[in-house]
């Protein structure tokens, strides 16, 4: 929902070029709120407003604009102004943004940046997507271990204004090798002992990530150790950046969405639903639908194979979708439970026996419940009074299919994990497809057994 409360006033101020009030508007609220009130403005208008904020605040408000407006501003406003804006943005956000800006524009802007910023951008851009390097920032508080607490605080007060976060201060040697970390909290606690050296305060047992590690591992580590930021090092343990808590939250959310999409059989998207290119989205959905369809053709061959049994008792067909959906639903429940438990670290591969035992008990219990429902459904659906054996086909099948559903749904994700594949690939539609084929086979075999063999033993009721 777009907040239109201030839009008329803002537009009037722009027409009047009312610097005083526009400056007041930019400074009065939290930058995120200011950006919210500007949502209804065009990119041009927004930039015209931002001109009235000083550079630091301007970049803060800008950082809360929606992505598309940011890109439009970067591509269309005066190159020199954009260069100034970029120097104020956090190093990691800046690189993410430039990634989506027209390459020609980027090439025009880069030479206008101070040489350090330019080198920094080029370096960060080189890290592959989904690695620690691609989400880290290079703006980090670095101090020498020989400083005292008093000196460190003074030095930090100079660095603080230019840094995204100062909650950990990293101590490196002359070759940039990471030696230790001091939290600002430790530093502040030590104010009473101002001559203590950082080398005495610093923690040397460090939790780090390698710059090429997958971002999902980074998130796991930050969550496990409850960190505010994690240092990123290269193979020689040189400090090259940090990943901060806000980026970790964003990654957690993105990964959760990606998993949900995979589970529903959509290849991961690079952008949000409304922004991703329609042709790309069609392809990312069609590819899975086609794979699932091709696998599903087996069900048609199976039914053709059992044609004689179906004509034997046409009412068997009535229950077929119920058999398939019950098997699919049970399988999906198990698969999703195991996939989420594996990805949250609640279950490990080593516990596969425990998992299978639970699902076996679960399958027996759920199967019994569903078989009871099956008896009720049969009496409702079959109109006349058929022989006893007819009443048993559907309930007995339900019991078996639900039991198989829990087993198939739990074995497959474990198997995928064992093979080093993402268990979320064992997506719901796959499990449902397997259960369709299994359901048809079980159903028609139970039917032939009950209707021909058992019927001969038990006389019609």
Strand locations in 132-280 (E): 142-143, 168-172, 178-183, 209-210, 229-233, 239-244
Which residue of 257, 441, 445, 455 would you call a contact of a second copy, by CB under 8 A? 257
Q: Which of 238, 240, 288 is nearest to 265 (CA)?
A: 288
Q: Would you count residue 99 as binding a second copy (CB under 8 A)?
A: no
Q: Would you count residue 161 as binding a second copy (CB under 8 A)?
A: yes
Q: Would you count residue 402 as binding a second copy (CB under 8 A)?
A: yes
Task: Indicate the residue among 97 and 109 with the shorter CB distance to a second copy.
Answer: 97
Contact 25, 49 (CB under 8 A): yes
3-state SS string over 419-452?
A: CCCCHHHCCHHHHHHHHHHHHHHHHHHHHHHHHH
Q: Would you count residue 113 as binding a second copy (CB under 8 A)?
A: no
- The distance of Cα 231 from the centroid of its chain, to the nearest Å, equals 22
Lay out the site mask for a second copy across 281-320 (x = CB under 8 A, - = otherwise): xx--xx-xxx-xxx-xx-xxx-xx--x--xx--xx-xxxx
Which residue of 132, 182, 335, 414 would you call a contact of a second copy, by CB under 8 A? 335
- What are the C-alpha distances in Å from 273 to residues 248, 266, 325? 21, 12, 28
Task: Indicate the residue among 109 and 359 with the shorter CB distance to a second copy.
Answer: 359
Q: Would you count residue 369 as binding a second copy (CB under 8 A)?
A: yes
- The DSSP call for residue 254 is H
Task: Indicate the residue among 78 and 314 with the shorter CB distance to a second copy.
Answer: 314
Q: What does the block give as tokens for 325?
A: 């959906």
User: Which range, of 7-15, 38-46, 97-105, 433-441, touches a second copy by CB under 8 A?
Assistant: 433-441
Q: Would you count residue 321 as binding a second copy (CB under 8 A)?
A: yes
Buried/exposed code over 149-180 (b: 16+ C-beta within 10 A; e: otherwise)? bebbbebbeeeeeebbbbebbbbbeeebebbb
Q: Would you count residue 128 as binding a second copy (CB under 8 A)?
A: no
Q: Would you count residue 322 as binding a second copy (CB under 8 A)?
A: yes
Q: How far is the CB of 392 from a second copy (least distance, A)?
A: 16
Count the site residues for a second copy by CB under 8 A.
123
Which residue of 5, 30, 68, 385 would you call a contact of a second copy, by CB under 8 A? 30
Contact 265, 289 (CB under 8 A): yes
Which residue of 272, 280, 379, 452 would you call a contact of a second copy, by CB under 8 A? 272
DSSP string, 38-49: TTTS-HHHHHHH
Which residue of 56, 122, 126, 381 would you call a contact of a second copy, by CB under 8 A? 381
Q: How far is the CB of 70 from a second copy (least distance, A)?
A: 15
Which residue of 347, 371, 393, 444 would you call a contact of a second copy, by CB under 8 A? 347
Task: Indicate the residue among 260 and 421 with the shorter CB distance to a second copy.
Answer: 260
CA–CA dist 401, 394 (Å, integer): 10
């Amino acid at each position: 929902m777009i907040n239109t409360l201030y839009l008329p006033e803002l537009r009037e101020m722009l027409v009047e070029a009312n610097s005083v009030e526009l400056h007041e508007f930019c400074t009065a609220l939290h930058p995120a709120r200011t950006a919210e009130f500007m949502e209804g403005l065009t990119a041009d208008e927004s930039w015209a407003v931002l001109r009235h904020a000083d550079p630091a605040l301007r970049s803060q408000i800008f950082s809360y604009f929606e992505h598309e407006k940011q890109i439009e501003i970067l591509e269309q406003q005066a190159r020199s102004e954009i260069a100034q804006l970029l120097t104020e943005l956090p190093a990691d956000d800046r690189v993410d943004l430039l990634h989506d800006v027209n390459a020609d524009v980027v090439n025009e802007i880069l030479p206008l940046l101070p040489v350090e910023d330019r080198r920094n951008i080029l370096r960060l851009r080189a890290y592959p997507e989904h690695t620690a390097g691609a989400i880290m920032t290079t703006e980090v508080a670095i101090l020498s271990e020989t400083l005292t607490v008093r000196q460190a605080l003074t030095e930090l007060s100079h660095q603080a204004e230019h840094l995204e976060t100062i909650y950990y201060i990293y101590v490196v040697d002359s070759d940039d090798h990471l030696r230790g970390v001091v939290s600002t909290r430790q530093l502040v606690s030590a104010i009473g002992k101002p001559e203590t050296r950082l080398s005495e305060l610093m923690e040397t047992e460090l939790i780090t990530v390698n710059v090429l590690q997958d971002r999902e591992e980074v998130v796991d580590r930050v969550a496990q150790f409850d960190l505010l930021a994690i240092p990123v090092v290269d193979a020689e343990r040189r400090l090259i950046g940090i990943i901060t808590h806000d980026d970790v939250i964003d990654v957690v959310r993105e990964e959760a969405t990606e998993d949900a999409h995979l589970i529903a059989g959509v290849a991961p998207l690079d952008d949000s639903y409304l922004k991703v290119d329609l042709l790309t989205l069609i392809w990312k959905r069609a590819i899975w639908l086609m794979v699932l369809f091709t696998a599903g053709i087996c069900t048609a061959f199976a039914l053709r194979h059992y044609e004689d049994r179906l004509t034997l008792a046409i009412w068997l067909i009535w229950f077929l979708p119920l058999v398939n959906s019950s098997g699919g639903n049970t399988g999906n429940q198990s698969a999703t439970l195991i996939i989420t438990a594996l990805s949250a670290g609640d279950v490990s591969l080593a516990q596969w026996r425990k998992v299978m035992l639970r699902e076996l008990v679960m399958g027996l219990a759920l199967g019994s419940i569903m078989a009871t429902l099956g008896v009720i459904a049969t009496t409702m659906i079959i109109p006349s009074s058929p022989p006893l054996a007819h009443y048993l086909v559907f309930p007995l099948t339900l019991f078996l299919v639900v039991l198989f559903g829990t087993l198939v749904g739990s074995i497959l994700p474990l198997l995928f994990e064992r093979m080093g594949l993402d268990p979320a690939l064992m997506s719901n539609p796959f499990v449902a497809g397997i259960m369709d084929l299994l359901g048809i086979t079980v159903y028609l075999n139970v039917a032939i057994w009950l209707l021909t063999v058992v019927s001969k033993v038990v006389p019609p009721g």
